[in-house]
Structure 1
């Protein structure tokens, strides 16, 4: 299994990778990447990577990360990431199309633990009490614990996967990662944390407005809203 996390210049189509972390067995890799575009302050405020830090870094095509991914990108390897579709889309912008199976720990967490209040990596860190073991785990891997650092996040993704493997086997996690997840609760808005099925019965107009107005809606949330609207 290959655990991967990226830090980027933003979330739009035009944005690019500015750091990459990989964990393969006991081997760890981190590299700053010159995205060849400005890193906006909003992005730096999250991952603490500045334009000065990447000014002398290699572009992705010239990076060791590109060579490493090329060697790891085989049908036998499984890529594990939190919000894998985003990571895969960022890699595709750099000419990397993953050849193996994929496990999305975000989608699997939503599917197997559908009553949680949140599913971000940092939320799961506390909800699943990963912090109890993270000191030992991070020390064993020689990784510094720094939230929103690509290598640190890749290791937390590994810890989330180990928790998920108590709920489902690898084949099931791969299958979930390829499918739509039917969410039970609305994560935001005036009905935040309320069951979507109940909202569809009481205020379907609100859900229809969300589907039509929120352009960057999570694909599983859109699928879930449309599902319950059809059932109502």
Structure 2
């Protein structure tokens, strides 16, 4: 009997807001990416999605994003009753993945995922494709134009299955560049930003900044900004790394 395939499950959640337990899940979508016999990663299976009863009203401001109505989820299962089989499938996945995975992780407890590792395709895209004009799921989709993506299957945006489907193409291409272990490692760290994203130095390469400006960013409240500035400071001392240098080191 052949061994079970090596799978990473991409998920996407639509929710009533940003912060559980105040907010709840109203839809989950998934798409698997598997390692083939040729040593290449590819999408596997049809994926899917279903609605979830969040246990509270869906605010109009979030309905305006995903267009899921209260009456559509009234008879749906609760999150605690339906999450585990999707988050911890058989054959067991190597990891879970999501774009901006820190958001999904807030709703997916260790008990639901059996303490799964996570891959954040947003954080990995910062490292692998620093030239992208932006790093949202949809900007990466149209900037990269992943081979084989079905335009209609990836629509509408901001619904759970189409978003998971698009993310799966980003993950497939990432896995064919860097190892699972490397993507998990990058995902466990704050985001390494290729460019300054706010303020008068917006758009600049971190290497262009004066020392005093860099020091200000190194004290920023945003963990991604602070981490990136610290890495640039370390690079100037002969240590840290910025952008594609991380990939080069990973492939050596």
Q: State whether TM-score is above 0.5.
A: yes
Q: 2:101 aligns with which of 80, 84, 89?
A: 84
Superposed CA deviations along residues 152-189 of structure 1, whole A, max 9, x for unmatched, are 11111111112223432333222222234432312233
**Worse-superposed segment, 121-130 or 179-188:** 179-188
Please show how residues 139-218 of structure 1 align to structure 2 within 5 Å.
143=153, 145-201=155-211, 203-204=213-214, 207=217, 211-212=220-221, 217=222
Q: TM-score, normalised by structure 1?
A: 0.79
C-alpha distance in structure 1 between counterparts of 2:31 and 2:216, whole Å: 43
Q: Identify which of 221, 224, 228 aligns with 1:224.
A: 228
Q: Distance in 2 between matches of 1:32 and 1:15?
A: 15
Q: Secondary structure at the match of 1:173?
A: helix
- Residues of 2 paired with 1:10 and 1:35: CA distance? 10
What's the CA shift string for 1:194-218, capped at 9, x where partnerless?
Answer: 2234345363586368x24xxxx3x
- Describe the SS at the equivalent of 1:79: strand
Q: Is the 8 A contact 2:65 2:158 kept in 1?
A: yes
Change (3 A) 1:29 1:144: same
Unaligned runs of 5+ in 2: 1-7, 33-43, 238-252
CA contact (8 A) 2:217 2:225 kept: no
Query: Contact 1:3–1:79 (CA<8 Å) still a contact in 2?
Result: yes
Question: Counterpart in 2 of 1:30?
Answer: 49
Instruction: Give the structure-2-normalised TM-score.
Output: 0.73
Q: Which residue of 2 aligns with 1:134?
A: 149
Report which of the two has the higher share of helix: 1
The residue number in structure 1 matching 2:80 is 61
Q: How big is the shift at 1:89?
A: 1.5
2:131 match = 115
Using the alignment, how far apart are the partners of 1:98 and 1:73 within structure 2?
Answer: 13
Q: 1:41 aligns with which of 60, 66, 72?
A: 60
Distance 1:72 1:16, change over 3 A: farther
Q: Which runs of 5+ in 1 are unaligned?
A: none
Tell me, in whole angstroms, the C-alpha distance in 1 between the residues paired with 2:210 and 2:113. Answer: 38
Instruction: Kindly tell me the number of residue pairs found equivalent between the two proteins.
Output: 217
**Aligned counterpart, 1:21:** 29
Aligned 8 A contact 2:13 2:27 in 1:
yes
